[in-house]
A = this chain, B = another copy of it.
Amino acid sequence: MYYVGLLGLGTVGRGTFEILSDPAGRNPLLSEMIVKKIGVRSIEKHRALQLNQQVLTQDLDSIVSDPEISIVVELLGGLEPARSLILKAIKAGKHVVTANKAVIARYREEIYAAAQEKGVYVLIEGAVGGGIPIIKPLKQSLGSNRIQSIIGIVNGTTNYILTQMSENGADFADVLTKAQQLGYAEANPSSDVDGLDAADKISILASLGFGGHIKREDVYSEGIRNITATDINYARRLGYVIKLLAIARGNAGEDSDRLELRVHPTLVPQSHPLASINGVNNAILVEGDPLGQVMFYGPGAGSGPTASAVVSDIMNIVAILKSHGTGATLDPLLSRTHQHYCQITPIEEIESSFYTRLITLDRPGAIGQIGTCFGENNVSLQSLVQIGLEANQAELVVVSHNVKEQFFRQALESIKQLEAIKSISSVIRVLD
């Protein structure tokens, strides 16, 4: 029997406990695990769970130091005390399973160094993509490739909001309120809608795919607060949907340690595999040589799906503990860590195509002046469409060819100076 200690009994903790306490019909390995202790903030709280109250404790330290427990499952969320408890568990020689993307994205190097030193595993399948197997496939199945890119819809809340906006023509604020009522968005939605959660996740995926540590602060992120129903509508007419994408892209062949790494709303061609990922679902598209493109799709959050991933990690550790002999060392695929940091290309230097929407005063020569500003900054255009508005104003929707971001920004700066320009309403990158 293998003893497991859970830290936290929130949504995912409950789902994890439910799987572990009901193994029939699942992999037979599950019947060799016992949840010995569950750390909670309050023992008194009423829980609609069939459990022996004896396993509950408010003393989380007693779990990470329990000599009988070999696997500690951290499901507290947040940075502290999660990070400290993970490190204590490692120092006590315990294997760790966590779904805590915020801690892993920020303290990956520290945690993995400690784990390597103690010869224990830290498995994190639940940290990205909910129930979608993506961490283990990146470690174990895709490493035969040169990874070229990892592009994902990795935040269910924002994908739900964008899908609703797209389907109902609703505005961001209204849909956010509805999402909060349905429990799809937090009372403080910043982590989701500002792209921070997605940035945590892409930094974890990129680290695995490209084989280097990532400084979390190097990940450019921009959220969806400024996306309007108008832009979604114009994007559709141009053949695109708007998605919050997390993008990691290597410069294959050139400088393999140099990565693009960014989270931002993106115009995605309607025929692209990620374009049809709707609602709270997640999907991650990995491109490699010689593989080509593979996509992993499924429920990106929630109690059951994330618990499925967490329990699969526990099972993996138990399978190794059962089978490895004396003097075993860490499996180099499953425990892979890195010696160096990836270099992240600053956003200004990344090439992309841009969609922008401008409000102009309907004057003769305005389009010519705008075109000149773009041209002088080496921005060539795919399309420029003027849509008449009321009272002397027009709306101009411009899509550029691929261009370095700094040149596009410079062009916009000079366009802003034009008398004929009332405002630049939106600037959204386009997936090529």
Q: Which residues of A contact B (CB under 8 A)?
A: 15, 18-19, 25-30, 125, 131-133, 136-137, 140-146, 211, 252-253, 256, 273, 276, 288-299, 302-305, 307-309, 311-312, 315-316, 319-320, 322-334, 336
B322 touches A324 (CB 8 A): no
Q: Which residues of B contact A142 (CB under 8 A)?
A: 133, 308, 312
Copy tally for this chain in the complex stands at 2
A252 to chain B, nearest CB (A): 7
Residue of B nearest to A309 (CB): B141
B323 touches A330 (CB 8 A): yes
Question: In the bound complex, what is the Cα–Cα distance between A303 and B299 (angstroms)?
Answer: 31
Question: In the bound complex, what is the Cα–Cα distance between A140 and B133 (angstroms)?
Answer: 9
Q: Which residues of B contact A273 (CB under 8 A)?
A: 297
A296 touches B294 (CB 8 A): yes
Q: Which residues of B contact A328 (CB under 8 A)?
A: 323-325, 328
A347 to chain B, nearest CB (A): 25
Question: In the bound complex, what is the Cα–Cα distance between A288 and B336 (angstroms)?
Answer: 29
B308 touches A290 (CB 8 A): yes
Q: Which residues of B contact A324 (CB under 8 A)?
A: 323-325, 328
Interface of A, secondary structure class, is mixed
A143 touches B29 (CB 8 A): yes
A146 touches B333 (CB 8 A): no
Q: Knowing that A136-B141, A291-B304 are A-B contacts, what are 19 other residue pairs whose CB atoms are under 8 Å apart, sorted by A's residue number?
A: A25-B253, A26-B144, A26-B145, A27-B211, A27-B333, A141-B309, A142-B308, A143-B312, A143-B315, A144-B307, A290-B308, A293-B299, A295-B297, A296-B297, A319-B331, A323-B330, A324-B324, A324-B325, A325-B327
Given contact pairs A140-B316, A144-B311, A146-B26, A298 touches B292 in the complex (Cβ within 8 A): yes
A166 to chain B, nearest CB (A): 15
**A–B complex contacts, Cβ < 8 Å, 13 sampled:** A26-B143, A27-B211, A27-B333, A133-B140, A133-B141, A136-B140, A140-B140, A140-B319, A142-B312, A295-B297, A319-B333, A323-B324, A325-B326
Q: Which residues of B contact A330 (CB under 8 A)?
A: 323
Q: Which residues of B contact A276 (CB under 8 A)?
A: 276
Given contact pairs A144-B311, A331-B320, A333-B316, A19 touches B256 in the complex (Cβ within 8 A): no
Question: In the bound complex, what is the Cα–Cα distance between A289 and B24 (angstroms)?
Answer: 12
B333 touches A305 (CB 8 A): no
Question: In the bound complex, what is the Cα–Cα distance between A297 and B293 (angstroms)?
Answer: 8
Q: Which residues of B contact A137 (CB under 8 A)?
A: 133, 136-137, 141
Question: In the bound complex, what is the Cα–Cα distance between A291 and B27 (angstroms)?
Answer: 14
Q: Which residues of B contact A316 (CB under 8 A)?
A: 140, 333
A305 to chain B, nearest CB (A): 5
Question: In the bound complex, what is the Cα–Cα distance between A197 and B140 (angstroms)?
Answer: 26
B334 touches A143 (CB 8 A): no
Question: In the bound complex, what is the Cα–Cα distance between A288 and B305 (angstroms)?
Answer: 9
Q: Which residues of B contact A311 (CB under 8 A)?
A: 144
Question: In the bound complex, what is the Cα–Cα distance between A293 and B329 (angstroms)?
Answer: 35
A73 to chain B, nearest CB (A): 12
Q: Which residues of B contact A141 (CB under 8 A)?
A: 125, 133, 136-137, 309, 312
